[in-house]
Amino acid sequence: MRHLLLSTAALLAAALPVLAQEAATALPETIVTATRVPTALERVPASITIITRQQIEERGHATLAEALSAVPGLRLAPSGGPGQQASVFLRGNSSRSVLVLLDGVPLNDPSEANGAFNFGNDLLFDVERIEVLRGPASSLYGSAAVGGVVNLVTRRAASRPFAPYGELAGGTQGTVRGGLGATGTIGAFDYLASANGLRTDGFNATARRFRNTLNERDGLQAGALALRLGWTPMEGTRVEGTLRYRQNRFDLDSVPRDDPNSTGDDRRLMGQLRAETRLLDGLWTTGFRVAFTQDRRAYVNLPDARSTASTRDHYRGERLGFDWGNTLRLPGLGFATDGALNFGVTHAREEVFSLAGNTPFQTRVNAAQDSTAGHIALQYRLWNRMDVTAGLRHDAVGSFTGATTWRAGVVYHVPELGARLRASGGSGFNAPSLFQRFGTIGTAFRGNPNLRPERSLGYELGGELDLPLFGRPDFATLGATWFQSRVRDLIIFQGTSVANVDRANLQGVELTLAVRPAPWLSAELGWTITDATDARTRRPLPRRPEHVISATARLTPLPGLVIAPQLQFTGRSPEGPFASYRDDGTSFTTERRNKTGTLFNITASYVVREGITAFVEGRNLGNSRWEPVNGFQTPGRSLLVGTRFGF
């Protein structure tokens, strides 16, 4: 495996200058997640994927999990359909090592036992774009940003007084999806309000291969409300308030047998108030934010013919955060231009109350902790072709630990060849969750208040090359990135508690190819090769497949018609002992590998008239029964027909 990674990276590095005879540079796209300073995408020394609102609609992505499925370096592991648990492994890092933001506000639920985010819950109706930063980002965002950051950016207000938008769709499995919203600007004030929902009977999440399956469907009822009010009294000064509420009610299955009356209710309320102004003729931008999240989860399993047991589990997690951020535009220094210094202080308090299970194995957590951090980052452009960044942050978590993290990177532009070369490195840390520190399970388990944070050190080297061919200046863009990371002090269950005992070695290659052979045709191909192993045992880590390949295309054969097919291949992935099941429902006591899986989706949309679009979405058209997580089957074939409008 290691030889394959090194050989592939070396081959691509050698091929880049050979393939380029002349080149055209792609139009820059501005992002904020990677540096906290609005920066053109091509000048950021990090691996970034941007999913725009146009792509969300043309590809038929209704949920966050669907939208992330084709991101290079990212492996999605859902345990069922929409609303069910879905984990993300970014560059082989654990699912608790990905930080999720909404307009910069952390969304990871403090009451989740490992601090991981559930990617199966969120709908995208009010989301304008998704920015995915791969690689350690703790120097910017602190704990949990070991593998990377996913930032959801909500829709912006329209410049006119009233701009409505919405959609309505229905299809197989009793699915109905709809939403209605409006934005506008009236003088110095602007607003956004939206409501959306999804209802479906769904599919049976438990694999059909199990001999004792009931084949009962696991449905979902999901809804979300969003409201944002903004005030811009003068140029460069803005005050904005946001509220967002989401609630999902869903059926649950267990493995290896169905559970006909197990249900869940997952709610989140998020709000923020932020103010920002420019000082010193725009050289200094300073802003303050106060934000909160409240997560409520409840799971109920009543007695049935298969089991007389009854459980009612409740989880409550809250976070209150304060953030003071600044950007100072720096003067040029001859060969150094476009300088910016970003610095700030953040403080957050997390509280958790959980009560789950029945005695004598009842799980309890009732705890809180504070964290305070200061961060600083510097960026400059040198000789008008090299962009450099460096950042440092120190986090003090509770009274038990502190962590200092860093990140540095460089992008070197070769416009003569249409090439961009990137190199970066950084450290990360992941504080233990409140359950890991203070949780109890009857008398059989006690958390470890003396846990240390998980820590990582990672590097990446890569680049992109624009290829003009057949008379088209933007015919193709070829990309390759090699990454490596070492993670230590991993937290695992040990005996009747948890301890920092494990280490992991992660490395891989992300290969991308975007082709634009004709004005009516474009396609993207991504291939991620990952080698993730336990540093002590040398065994592969569970649920990290060696190969993930995704292919997407955009065809416009007629004016107003867009056809967007998507093909996803996931290679074999290991499962730990007792996590793999035979067809009769018994578990294997040794490590196994999940089989490969291929999914094919396609969405077609047609502009009926200006502002009105009709669409058809087909999912898993091959009706694959692939199990992304052993025992949990991917949803079957489905079709949705609808219309959306926006004026």
Taking only the tens place, the pLDDT of each residue in 347-356 is: 999 999 999 9
Read off the tokens for 339.
């300088």
Query: pLDDT-based confidence at 392, cuts 50/70/90?
Result: very high
For residues 584 and 556, the answer to whether their CB atoms sit within 8 Å is no
Query: What is the reported pLDDT for 578?
Result: 85
Please give the residue that has the higher pLDDT: either 39 or 370.
Answer: 370
| Per-residue pLDDT tens digits for 198-225 | 999 999 999 999 988 888 899 999 999 9
Query: pLDDT-based confidence at 29, cuts 50/70/90?
Result: low
pTM of the predicted model, to two decimals?
A: 0.93
- Does residue 51 register a pLDDT over 70? yes
Integer Cα distance of 48 and 367 in angstroms: 36
Q: CA gyration radius for the chain?
A: 24
- Does residue 237 register a pLDDT over 50? yes
Tell me whether residue 281 is exposed, middle or buried, using C-beta atoms within 10 angstroms of its C-beta: 0 to 12, 13 to 18, 19 or more: exposed
Read off the tokens for 409.
């990177």
Query: What is the reported pLDDT for 257?
Result: 80
Query: pLDDT-based confidence at 11, cuts 50/70/90?
Result: very low
Query: pLDDT-based confidence at 34, cuts 50/70/90?
Result: low
- Report the DSSP pairing between strands 148-154 and 98-102: parallel
Q: What is the domain range of residue 543?
A: 2-646
Read off the tokens for 218.
């696991």
Tell me whether residue 12 is exposed, middle or buried, using C-beta atoms within 10 angstroms of its C-beta: 0 to 12, 13 to 18, 19 or more: buried
**Residue type for 550, please?**
S
Please give the residue that has the higher pLDDT: either 3 or 617.
Answer: 617
Integer Cα distance of 16 and 7 in angstroms: 14
Query: What is the reported pLDDT for 212?
Result: 81
Residues of the chain above pLDDT 70, percent: 95
| Per-residue pLDDT tens digits for 409-435 | 999 999 999 999 999 999 999 999 999
**CA angle (596, 597, 598) in 5-degree steps:** 135
- Does residue 133 register a pLDDT over 60? yes
| Per-residue pLDDT tens digits for 163-179 | 999 999 999 999 999 99
Average pLDDT, the chain: 91
Query: What is the reported pLDDT for 270?
Result: 97
- Does residue 8 register a pLDDT over 60? no
Ramachandran angles phi, psi of 8, nearest 5°:
-65, -45
Integer Cα distance of 127 and 385 in angstroms: 34
For residues 242 and 266, the answer to whether their CB atoms sit within 8 Å is no
Q: 575: closest CA among 536, 530, 545, 531? A: 545
Please give the residue that has the higher pLDDT: either 42 or 235.
Answer: 235
Residue 133 contacts by C-beta under 8 Å, 6 or more apart in sequence? Answer: 33, 34, 46, 47, 48, 148, 149, 150, 151
In angstroms, what CA-CA distances link 103 with 112, 150, 532?
Answer: 22, 10, 31
Ramachandran angles phi, psi of 186, nearest 5°:
-125, 105
Integer Cα distance of 198 and 228 in angstroms: 22
- Report the DSSP pairing between strands 638-646 and 472-494: unpaired
For residues 101 and 129, the answer to whether their CB atoms sit within 8 Å is no
- Does residue 259 register a pLDDT over 90? no
In angstroms, what CA-CA distances link 469 with 21, 94, 363, 502, 519?
Answer: 10, 41, 62, 49, 14
- Does residue 276 register a pLDDT over 50? yes
Could you tell me where the beta strands, DSSP code E, fall in 560-637?
561-570, 573-575, 592-594, 597-609, 612-619
| Per-residue pLDDT tens digits for 454-472 | 999 999 999 999 999 988 9
State the DSSP code for 540: B
Query: pLDDT-based confidence at 81, cuts 50/70/90?
Result: confident
Q: 439: closest CA among 430, 431, 448? A: 448
Query: pLDDT-based confidence at 258, cuts 50/70/90?
Result: confident
- Phi/psi zone of residue 135: left (φ > 0), alpha (ψ -120 to 50 degrees), beta? left
For residues 51 and 42, the answer to whether their CB atoms sit within 8 Å is no
CATH code for position 276? 2.40.170.20
HEC states along 5-69? Answer: HHHHHHHHHHHHHHHCCCCCCCCCCEECCCCCCCEEHHHCCCEEEEEEHHHHHHCCCCEHHHHHC
Query: What is the reported pLDDT for 25?
Result: 30
H-type helices in 400-459, by residue range? 434-438
**CA angle (489, 494, 499) in 5-degree steps:** 30
Query: What is the reported pLDDT for 31?
Result: 61
Three-class SS state of 139? helix
> How many domains, the chain?
1
Read off the tokens for 291.
């934000």
Query: What is the reported pLDDT for 468?
Result: 94
Say which residue the tokens 């919405």 belong to. Answer: 166
| Per-residue pLDDT tens digits for 575-593 | 988 889 999 889 998 888 9
Q: What is the number of helices (H) and of strands (E) in the chain?
A: 5, 35
Query: What is the reported pLDDT for 13?
Result: 35
| Per-residue pLDDT tens digits for 297-339 | 999 998 877 777 788 999 999 999 999 999 999 999 889 999 9
| Per-residue pLDDT tens digits for 357-375 | 888 889 999 999 999 999 9
Read off the tokens for 199.
């209802």
State the DSSP code for 538: -
Say which residue the tokens 């969304």 belong to. Answer: 107
| Per-residue pLDDT tens digits for 509-554 | 999 999 999 999 999 999 999 999 999 999 999 999 999 999 999 9
Query: What is the reported pLDDT for 14?
Result: 34
- Does residue 39 register a pLDDT over 70? yes
| Per-residue pLDDT tens digits for 623-646 | 999 999 999 999 999 999 999 999
Q: 121: closest CA among 355, 315, 317, 297? A: 297
For residues 579 and 544, the answer to whether their CB atoms sit within 8 Å is no
SS3 percent helix, strand, coil of the chain, rounded to 5, is: 5, 60, 35
- Report the DSSP pairing between strands 30-31 and 472-494: unpaired
